[in-house]
Every structure is written in structure tokens, then in C-alpha cells.
Amino acid sequence: MEIILALLTLLTLIFLVILVGTKGNPLVLIYQFQSFTAQIVENKIQLLILSFLIILISLFVYFYYIMPNVDAGPIQPIAFSHRLHAGDKKIDCRFCHSYVDRSVHPGIPPVEKCLFCHNSIIPNHPEIRKEHHYFNTKTPTPWKKVFYVPEHVMFNHERHIKKEVQCETCHGDVKGTDRLKRHEFKMGFCIQCHKKEKANLDCWLSCHN
Ligand code: HEC
Ligand code: HEC
Ligand code: HEC
Ligand code: HEC
């Protein structure tokens, strides 16, 4: 989304520069361009350099702007980072996900919890203002869910956390991630550990409802 916006702005800027540069007659450019390409076709070295430059620029754009976004999770309504909060600032997972061992839906913390800190920490940061907006209009933050189990599976955290299975075992390196990636759990993953830990394997009774 941001990339498209940036490209559109760039194109508009280029268009405006052309319009000003040709004193409101952009057609002039087409004639100039034609003689320019004619020159290049005559002179193959220029053609080579030009195509090399184009390839270089495309590679740069791809590696610096597109690839990091392909690899990250969905863009969330507030640019929240687990790496910053749970990693750098060492805030306990349970402080925010308090119901994880008590409820089938551990859930995402409500903005009240964010504002507990952010009423005094960087209160005027644009992302924190969004929190105030959700709080003032009493709208639940539309966080996008990222961890899924297939629909017919019933998962409950409680038994796992009582047996001290670490969050990382299932959720990966949350502490080191800015934007969590979409992940669907496969049954093989559950079964493998249940076999190893001699936990219940009678899946029709326990996991599937
Ligand atoms: C044994 C694997 C396992 C462990 C350990 C585990 N989780 Fe999960 N977690 C899951 C699965 C599977 C889901 C998806 C459940 C669903 O969609 O119903 C999930 C979902 C969640 C969700 C989203 C729930 C929602 O309401 O949308 C949160 C938040 C979460 N886990 C936090 C934690 C935290 C914090 C810990 C450590 C204290 C933890 N989990 C440990 C497997 C695990
Ligand atoms: C226990 C305190 C605490 C809680 C709770 C907390 N934060 Fe933060 N947050 C921080 C600290 C500390 C910083 C770093 C401030 C700085 O950069 O000076 C921060 C920074 C941020 C930033 C700015 C990141 C950046 O790019 O600079 C955002 C956005 C943010 N938090 C969102 C949230 C959201 C959303 C919640 C609720 C789910 C939340 N925070 C809950 C302490 C907290
Ligand atoms: C400052 C509050 C805060 C802390 C601390 C925190 N989380 Fe979160 N967590 C959130 C928010 C907000 C979201 C929703 C946005 C997102 O997915 O990044 C979330 C989402 C998640 C999800 C994805 C749930 C889903 O399916 O959408 C998991 C899993 C999770 N957290 C696990 C953890 C683990 C494990 C830790 C500790 C290492 C932790 N969280 C620490 C606030 C927090
Ligand atoms: C890293 C190991 C591990 C993983 C991964 C894991 N589990 Fe478990 N599971 C356990 C342990 C240990 C218990 C606790 C058994 C006990 O309390 O004796 C358990 C218990 C359960 C129970 C309760 C069984 C009963 O006796 O009633 C269910 C249901 C369950 N797990 C479902 C799942 C599902 C679904 C997944 C995959 C999303 C999963 N588990 C992934 C280790 C794991």
C-alpha cells in the first residue's frame, strides 16, 4: 500500500517537473526523446549502460523496499512491535496477554492497557494518537489475527502453560519480531510433541470437537 502511494507521488512529481521544464508543452519531450533514442540505437554502448542502470535500480528497489515487506506479517492498525516491547523493554507476555492460561481466547490487550504506559510515554507520537482515537470512540482496535488452527480444532492454552511449554515453542521468536507473520498450525506439529511428551493423542476426543 505504502509502496503504491510512494510510486504515485513520484509519478506526479515527475509529471509536474516535466510540465514546468517544457513550459507547459510536454509534447516537446516526445520529439526530444525520439532523437535521444535514435542516438542510443546508433551507439550500442549507451544502450548497454542504460539497460544496466535500469536493472540496477530495479534490483535496489526490490531488495530495499519490496522484499522486507513480503517477508513481514500483515500491516496492523497500530504499528505495534513485539521486538520493542517484549524484546528491548522486556515487558512480560502475560502483562499484556493476561488471560492466556485462563481463557480459550487469550486475546489482544485493549487500548486501556497500552495507555497505562502511553499516557506518559511518547503520548504525542502519531501511532499513540491512534490509541487515543480508539479509546475515545470506544472502538475495539481492529487487530488482524495471525495465528490460526484449522476450524475444527479446539485449542486451549491452559494445559500447555501449566506444563510449562514456552510461548516460543509454538509462536516462534515473538520477542525478535516487529510484525508477526501469518501462521497456520498443522496437526502434525501438535501430534509430534504430544507423542514426545506422552500427552493425549486421542484426537477425536480432545482436539476435534
Ligand atoms: C502448544 C502451543 C502453544 C503455546 C505453548 C502457546 N500458544 Fe498461543 N496459540 C497457540 C495456538 C494454536 C493459537 C491459535 C488458537 C486459535 O486460533 O484458536 C494461539 C493463539 C494465541 C493468541 C491469539 C489468541 C486470540 O484470542 O486470537 C495469543 C495472544 C497467544 N496465543 C499468546 C500466547 C502466549 C503469551 C503464550 C505463552 C505464555 C502462548 N501463546 C503459548 C498455541 C500455543
Ligand atoms: C509497560 C509499558 C508499555 C505498554 C503497556 C505499552 N507500551 Fe508501547 N512503548 C513502551 C515504551 C517504553 C516505548 C518506547 C518509547 C520510546 O521510544 O521512547 C514504546 C513505544 C511504542 C510505540 C512507538 C514505536 C516507535 O516506532 O517508536 C508504539 C507505536 C507503541 N509503543 C504501541 C503500543 C501499543 C499499541 C500498546 C498496547 C498494545 C503498547 N504500546 C503498550 C511501553 C509500553
Ligand atoms: C505491550 C503489550 C504486549 C506484550 C508485552 C506482548 N504482546 Fe503479544 N500482542 C500484543 C498486541 C497489541 C498484539 C496484536 C498485534 C500483533 O499481532 O502484533 C499481539 C499479538 C500477539 C500474538 C498474535 C495473536 C494473533 O493470532 O493475532 C501472539 C501469538 C502474541 N502476541 C504473543 C506474545 C508473546 C509470546 C509475548 C511475549 C514474548 C507477547 N505477545 C508480548 C501486545 C503485547
Ligand atoms: C511443545 C509440545 C506441545 C505442542 C506443540 C502441542 N501440545 Fe497439546 N499438550 C502438550 C502437553 C505437555 C499437554 C498436557 C498433557 C497433560 O496435562 O497431561 C497437552 C495437552 C493438550 C490438550 C489437552 C488433552 C487432554 O488430556 O485433555 C489438548 C486438547 C491439546 N494439548 C491440543 C493441542 C493442539 C491442538 C496443538 C497444536 C496446535 C497442541 N496441543 C500442541 C504439549 C504440546
Nearest residue (by CA) to ligand 3, atom 28, is: 171
Candidates 112, 117, 132, 178: which one to mutate for ligand 2, based on the most atoms within 8 Å of Cβ? 117
- At residue 84, the pLDDT reads 95
Are 150 and 184 in contact by the 8 Å Cβ rule? The answer is yes
Nearest residue (by CA) to ligand 3, atom 9, is: 108
pLDDT tens-place string over residues 83-116:
999 999 999 999 999 988 888 787 889 999 999 9
- At residue 1, the pLDDT reads 63
Q: b/e for 109-142, b at 16 or more Cβ within 10 A?
A: bebeebbeebeeeeeeeeebebbbebbeeeeebe
Centroid of ligand 3 to alpha carbon of 108 (angstroms)? 7
Q: What angle do CA 73, 74, 78 make, to 5 degrees?
A: 110
pLDDT tens-place string over residues 42-68:
777 777 888 999 999 999 888 777 766
Confidence category of residue 21, pLDDT binned at 50, 70, 90: confident
- At residue 31, the pLDDT reads 83
Are 86 and 176 in contact by the 8 Å Cβ rule? The answer is no
Burial environment of residue 180 by CB neighbours within 10 A (0 to 12, 13 to 18, 19 or more) = buried
pLDDT tens-place string over residues 165-209:
999 999 999 999 999 998 999 888 988 898 888 877 765 445 565
pLDDT tens-place string over residues 116-162:
999 999 999 999 999 999 999 999 999 999 998 888 888 889 989 99
Give the integer Cα–Cα distance in Å for 183 and 206: 22
Q: Tell whether the model's pLDDT for residue 11 goes beyond 70.
A: yes
114 CB-near residues (< 8 Å, 6+ apart) = 78, 128, 131
- Determine if ligand 4 sits within 6 Å of the CB of residue 170: yes
Confidence category of residue 6, pLDDT binned at 50, 70, 90: confident
Give the integer Cα–Cα distance in Å for 141 and 52: 47
Are 187 and 153 in contact by the 8 Å Cβ rule? The answer is yes
- At residue 203, the pLDDT reads 59
Centroid of ligand 1 to alpha carbon of 41 (angstroms)? 61
Are 108 and 143 in contact by the 8 Å Cβ rule? The answer is yes
Are 154 and 205 in contact by the 8 Å Cβ rule? The answer is no
Give the integer Cα–Cα distance in Å for 203 and 191: 9
Centroid of ligand 1 to alpha carbon of 135 (angstroms)? 25
- At residue 37, the pLDDT reads 77
Centroid of ligand 4 to alpha carbon of 43 (angstroms)? 70
